[in-house]
Amino acid sequence: MAGRIPPRDIEAIKHRTNIADIVGEYVQLKGASVGSLKGLCPFHDEKSPSFNVRPDQGFYHCFGCGEGGDVYKFLQKLENITFYEAVEKCAAKISYQITYEAGSGRDEGVNRARLLAANEAAAKYFQQQLGTSEAQTARDFLTQRNFDQAASVHFGLGYAPKGWNGLGDALKAQGFTEEELSRSTLLSLRKVRATTSSEADWSGQSGTLPTR
Ligand SMILES: [Zn+2]
């Protein structure tokens, strides 16, 4: 994906797309009343058409099952694609050149596997930090509560070091981009924290322990 689709393009594409052309690829539409087309609803099983499309208004609505929306919603729902993919599909249809902006939309850009990998790398980072000299207080804290090293490893406990950049620097050194880290929410917070399993929430706590 090339980047974010600006709202003006999203609007322009919708404006120039005839919803009846798109819906017509999936549903056989016939003229109903003025400005309205009718067909068998693709979202529920029916024998007589209660699925209406109003090209002038850019909306569809089914009186049988209540489904309704604009052309993007129709494509998302029927093709099981994201909002951005629906926009791109319409753009391609009308040969509209999208002016992509830097960054990414909410539903595109970074893939899920990378986000999971970033989270795993973050967990590993915090676990490694628990072995540093800075983390002595945290280790003492765990020992007092009968968490030995094996238990720490088993439960994925970690230590969040002082400073703001440790995690980001470590993950960027492993090849993760700022966008991936921000999308994974690992860097969207203002402070370093652990974000893996619920057990690892401990590590966020240990980083704030008073130092001796
Ligand atoms: Zn329906």
Tokens of 107: 């539903």
Percentage of residues of the chain with pLDDT beyond 90: 43
User: Is pTM beyond 0.85 here?
Assistant: no
Whether 50 shows a pLDDT value over 90: the answer reads yes
Whether 65 shows a pLDDT value over 70: the answer reads yes
Tokens of 86: 């629906």
Whether 60 shows a pLDDT value over 90: the answer reads yes
3-state helix, strand, coil in the chain (%, to 5): 45, 10, 45
Whether 119 shows a pLDDT value over 50: the answer reads yes
What pLDDT is attached to residue 82?
92
Whether 33 shows a pLDDT value over 50: the answer reads yes
Spacing, Cα 94 to ligand 1 middle (Å): 27
Spacing, Cα 73 to ligand 1 middle (Å): 14
| Mean of all residue pLDDT scores within the chain | 82
Tokens of 74: 């129709």
Average pLDDT of the segment spanning 172-197: 65
- Summarize pLDDT for 136-183 with one digit per residue, the tens: 989 998 988 888 888 888 888 889 888 878 888 888 888 888 777 777
Name residues whose C-beta falls within 8 Å of residue 64's C-beta, 6 or more positions apart in sequence: 41, 44, 46, 50, 51
**Domains along the chain with CATH numbers:** 7-93 (3.90.580.10), 112-206 (3.90.980.10)
What pLDDT is attached to residue 30?
94
Spacing, Cα 61 to ligand 1 middle (Å): 8
Name residues whose C-beta falls within 8 Å of residue 104's C-beta, 6 or more positions apart in sequence: 1, 3, 4, 110, 179, 183
Spacing, Cα 44 to ligand 1 middle (Å): 5
Average pLDDT of the segment spanning 97-106: 76
Whether 20 shows a pLDDT value over 90: the answer reads yes
Give the separation between CA 135 and CA 159, rounded to whole angstroms: 7
Cβ neighbours of 119 (radius 10 Å): 19
Bridge partners, 61 (sequence order): 52, 68
Spacing, Cα 120 to ligand 1 middle (Å): 43
Spacing, Cα 8 to ligand 1 middle (Å): 31
Most trustworthy range by pLDDT among 88-97, 130-139, 143-152 = 88-97
Spacing, Cα 163 to ligand 1 middle (Å): 55
Whether 186 shows a pLDDT value over 80: the answer reads no
Spacing, Cα 53 to ligand 1 middle (Å): 12
What pLDDT is attached to residue 103?
66
Q: Which residue has the higher pLDDT, 186 or 104?
A: 186
Whether 193 shows a pLDDT value over 50: the answer reads no
> Which of the four pLDDT bands, split at 50, 70 and 90, describes residue 24?
very high
Single-letter residue type at 34? V
